[in-house]
Amino acid sequence: MKLRSLVLVATGIGIGYSISQKMHRDDPEVVRGPQRATTASPGLQLVTGQAQRLADRASVRSLEAIRRARGAIRTRLGEGETFDEASWN
């Protein structure tokens, strides 16, 4: 009885180990980390760079508009200097 239990436990450990090895193996279909894809077309790189700069400027202007709107709300509510900064973040 004890030998059979030992064999069953050893078999379970072996199966678990083999499954864990399969799970930790890299999948070639999955891309990990940032991929640096260089295109052969310099025109495409130029357009991509300009689009990124445009998106960055738009996000900065959007945040500035939000801050202005919050300031306008604060002044309309008459809170002045006594507002709680944590509630606005």
Q: Who wins on pLDDT, 87 or 46?
A: 46
- What is d(CA 25, CA 5) in angstroms, rounded to the nearest whole number? 31
Residue 24 lies in a domain: no
Residue 27 lies in a domain: no
Residue 35 lies in a domain: no
Residue 30 lies in a domain: no
pLDDT of residue 32: 64
The rounded percent of the chain whose pLDDT value lies above 90 is 33
**51 lies in which domain range?**
41-76
Residue 4 lies in a domain: no
- What is d(CA 61, CA 71) in angstroms, rounded to the nearest whole number? 15
Residue 65 has pLDDT above 90, yes or no: yes
Residue 13 has pLDDT above 90, yes or no: yes
Q: Whole-structure pTM over 0.75, yes or no?
A: no
User: How many structural domains comprise the chain?
Assistant: 1
- What is d(CA 73, CA 79) in angstroms, rounded to the nearest whole number? 9
